[in-house]
């Protein structure tokens, strides 16, 4: 069977080069006579894997020395609690709610203190990013929280909010490593890797040193304290070893592509192909305000539930996988992460044109 074009929002498409390399090393990694799946996380071989992964990520993102990199478990959703447990010293935090994931993070934070919703786009089904240039940031807020790219709704912060001196915490799960980023503008950057970096099971946290302390909320489990994992070099317990190994391969693949500036250029070109067609189409329409469109996740509709369902069914039969929109919004969604080739987007647009001709 030939490979499909996988437009899944996550777990998502990975670079074929990475999959081929991993397949070749499955039974014998680097002369160890065993798979990384079988390897002790305390071994020299795995220590080299995790050290190299961190080094390559630091190089890709130009991460300053005063930020720690953690490879953790629990996915991005566990960070919804871990953030307030570790950072909510005053029991106050401000949240900008622009989709389902920031909405869930906001609700979770409210369990630990006062969570203030200082901006939201709920009034128009999260189809835009609100103006964040002059927000009512709380004087006693411990941090300001955003989900930078909204996977379900297809929106992206083009400009980071003015947090008025408060640390910015950002969930970047679905735009991780898709473009250059100034790490110094954040207190914490974190993301589940299964969308743009690796297989499900790993969440990467990049956190400024001054935010890593023993002063956490009473009752915070040892496993949910950032300092626990910083002190142990992400090896406090058995880590998601194979997932980290694949992430490391993706980091090296990104470096071979020319780094994050080159990826941004490629991603903008790919997205333009699809958005230009949606803007010209008589049948398909994008659902996001143009100024806030994501380069990674492109939701669209026909206006007919019946036609949407037929499109998804016929697209799947033609080798275009996982185009059905999230269950909460319906329609369609094409996730065109780093590893999706330009040919895949062009093939999808060609299929959409044919479908439109046959069904108008």
Q: Which residues are catalytic?
A: 101, 171, 195
Residue spans of beta strands (DSSP E) within the chain: 5-6, 67-72, 92-97, 114-120, 144-147, 149-150, 155-156, 168-171, 188-192, 203-208, 285-286, 297-301, 320-321, 332-335
Are 207 and 67 within 8 A, CB to CB?
Answer: yes
- The token duo for 15 is 């670079």
Q: How many residues are recorded in the chain?
A: 360
332-335 and 297-301 as β-strands: parallel, antiparallel, unpaired?
Answer: antiparallel
Are 337 and 198 within 8 A, CB to CB?
Answer: no
**Beta carbons within 8 Å of 258's beta carbon, 6+ residues apart:** none
**Bridge partners for 203 per DSSP:** 72, 192
Backbone angles phi, psi at 41, to 5 degrees: -75, -10
Among candidate residues 182, 94, 91, the one with its CA nearest the CA of residue 146: 94
HSE-CB at 102 with a 13 A cutoff on CA atoms is: 34
Cα–Cα distance for residue pair 168/187, rounded to 1 Å: 5
């Amino acid at each position: 069977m030939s490979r499909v074009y996988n437009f899944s929002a996550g777990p998502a498409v990975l670079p074929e080069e990475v999959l081929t390399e991993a397949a070749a090393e499955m039974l014998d990694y680097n002369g160890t006579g065993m798979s990384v799946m079988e390897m002790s996380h305390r071994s020299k071989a795995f220590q080299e894997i995790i050290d190299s992964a961190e080094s390559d990520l630091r190089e890709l993102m130009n991460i300053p020395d005063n930020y720690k990199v953690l490879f953790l478990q629990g996915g991005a959703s566990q960070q919804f609690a871990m953030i307030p447990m570790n950072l909510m010293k005053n029991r106050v935090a401000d949240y900008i709610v622009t989709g389902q994931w920031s909405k869930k993070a906001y609700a979770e934070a409210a369990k630990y203190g006062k969570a203030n919703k200082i901006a939201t786009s709920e009034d128009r089904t999260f189809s835009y990013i609100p103006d964040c240039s002059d927000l009512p940031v709380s004087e006693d807020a411990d941090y300001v929280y955003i989900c930078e790219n909204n996977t379900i709704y297809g929106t992206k912060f083009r400009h980071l909010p003015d947090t008025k001196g408060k640390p910015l915490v950002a969930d970047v799960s679905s735009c991780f490593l898709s473009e250059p980023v100034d790490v110094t503008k954040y207190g914490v950057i974190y993301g589940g890797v299964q969308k743009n970096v690796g297989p499900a099971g790993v969440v990467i946290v990049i956190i400024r040193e001054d935010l890593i302390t023993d002063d956490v909320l009473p009752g915070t489990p040892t496993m949910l304290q950032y300092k626990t994992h910083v002190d142990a070099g992400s090896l406090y317990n058995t880590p998601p070893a194979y997932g980290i190994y694949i992430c490391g391969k993706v980091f090296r693949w990104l470096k071979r592509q020319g780094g994050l500036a080159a990826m941004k250029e490629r991603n903008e070109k790919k997205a333009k192909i699809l958005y230009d067609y949606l803007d010209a189409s008589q049948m398909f329409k994008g659902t996001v305000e143009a100024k806030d469109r994501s380069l990674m996740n492109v939701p669209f509709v026909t206006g007919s539930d019946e036609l949407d369902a037929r499109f998804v069914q016929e697209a799947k039969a033609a080798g275009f996988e996982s185009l059905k929109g999230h269950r909460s919004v319906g329609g369609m969604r094409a996730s065109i992460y780093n590893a999706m080739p330009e040919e895949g987007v062009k093939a999808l647009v060609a299929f959409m044109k044919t479908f439109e001709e046959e069904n108008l």
